[in-house]
């Protein structure tokens, strides 16, 4: 599934990021802890140059903790990168970001020295929620659909940190087919740009292979389905997805599976591991 979802505001956002970057001291990239590879925007590495970078694996409460630990170790092998696992369920962790910024810029250790940061991330990764926790008030609009933030804004924190917030941007074409599916499964791509049944079959196949016991427990199964199609069929029959004549409503079953995965009802699931 080759996904090309690049709304006009994303193209404009990229241009503004390029223009603003020379004035930035440090980049904060927010990624999805469930899929760090697919949610890491290659534009960040391209645009930040030699600036230090904090890579935040957000929504870590939804990801497999052992896999997240492996990702943190992997990401910190990159020069100038500090990797952190965070969740909005623990706002105290997020509030430490300001002090970490100063640690990465020892020349600006004193609070009176302003640090200009740019916070970046793909759509629906939780960037706006992090900003609101850092500021202690509603600054950034939050939504459970991608492309909520449409324009840049500058936010001044009490400790001399200046955040330049940017809209969540995807790159023009997602070349890796698996990445496209994973991004769609977690909600980084608008539901209107995907086929629910298509991504649900992908998710079903992944869960059967990687987290079979979670599937058994969630849907109260006595035996594991042998295929992705069979799993969706079982879910449809158990969750009110039957049409007249006993046929399963595949779209309804797909919605149930995707919702369960996105919400954490299937447990803490990571969709990819570091190589």
The CATH number that applies at residue 202 is: 1.10.1580.10
The verdict on 131 and 242 lying in the same domain is no
- Please indicate, yes or no, whether residues 48 and 136 belong to a single structural domain of this protein: yes
SS3 for 50? coil
Domain CATH number, residue 108: 3.40.50.300
CA distance linking residue 201 with residue 232, whole number of Å: 8
Structure tokens given for 153: 């804004």
Distance in angstroms (rounded) separating the CA atoms of residues 266 and 264: 5
Task: Answer whether residue 148 is part of any domain.
Answer: yes
Per-residue pLDDT of the chain (275 residues; tens, 9 = 90+): 555 544 555 566 677 778 888 889 999 999 999 999 989 877 777 888 889 999 999 999 999 999 999 999 999 998 899 999 999 899 888 888 988 998 999 887 666 688 999 888 887 888 888 888 888 876 655 544 444 444 457 888 877 888 887 766 655 455 678 888 998 999 888 776 678 899 999 999 999 999 999 999 999 999 999 999 999 999 999 988 788 888 999 999 999 999 999 999 999 999 999 98
Q: How many domains does the chain have?
A: 2
Residue 205 and residue 100 share a domain:
no
| Three-state secondary structure call for residue 266 | coil
- Domain boundary (116, 147, 165) is at 165
Residues 230 and 140 in one domain: no
pTM of the model: 0.85
* Burial class for 45, CB neighbours closer than 10 Å (0-12, 13-18, 19+): middle
Question: Is there a domain that residue 133 lies in?
Answer: yes
Q: Which domain holds residue 225?
A: 195-263
Instruction: For 11-143, list the strands marked E by DSSP.
Output: 26-32, 53-58, 81-85, 115-121
Q: Return the pLDDT at 147.
A: 43
- Phi, psi at 156, each rounded to 5°: -100, 120
Among the candidates 165, 187, 203, a domain finishes at 165
Q: Is 80 left (phi over 0), alpha (psi -120 to 50) or beta?
A: left
Structure tokens at 62: 């939804």
Distance between CA atoms of 45 and 40, rounded to whole angstroms?
Answer: 9
Q: Cβ atoms within 10 A of the Cβ of 150, count?
A: 13
């Amino acid at each position: 599934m080759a996904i090309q979802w690049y709304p006009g505001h994303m193209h404009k956002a990229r241009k503004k990021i390029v223009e603003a970057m020379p004035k930035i001291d440090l980049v904060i990239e927010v990624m999805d802890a469930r899929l760090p590879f697919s949610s890491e925007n290659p534009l960040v590495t391209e645009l930040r140059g030699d600036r230090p970078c904090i890579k935040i694996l957000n929504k870590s409460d939804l990801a497999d903790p052992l896999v997240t630990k492996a990702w943190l170790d992997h990401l910190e092998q990159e020069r100038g990168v500090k990797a952190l696992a965070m969740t909005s369920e623990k706002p105290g962790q997020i509030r430490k970001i300001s002090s970490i910024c100063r640690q990465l810029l020892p020349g600006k250790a004193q609070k009176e020295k302003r640090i200009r940061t740019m916070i970046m991330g793909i759509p629906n990764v939780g960037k706006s929620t992090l900003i609101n926790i850092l500021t202690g008030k509603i600054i950034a609009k939050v939504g459970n659909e991608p492309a909520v933030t449409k324009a840049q804004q500058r936010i001044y924190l009490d400790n001399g940190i200046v955040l330049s917030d940017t809209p969540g941007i995807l790159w023009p074409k997602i070349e890796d087919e698996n990445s496209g599916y994973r991004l769609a499964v977690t909600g980084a791509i608008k539901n209107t740009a995907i086929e629910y049944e298509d991504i649900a079959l992908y998710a079903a196949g992944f869960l059967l292979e990687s987290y079979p016991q979670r599937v058994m427990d969630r849907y109260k199964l006595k035996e594991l389905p042998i295929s992705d199609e069979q799993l969706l069929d079982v879910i449809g029959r158990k969750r009110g997805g039957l049409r007249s004549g006993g046929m399963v409503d595949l779209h309804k079953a797909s919605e149930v599976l995707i919702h369960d995965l996105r919400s954490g009802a299937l447990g803490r699931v990571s969709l990819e591991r570091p190589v």
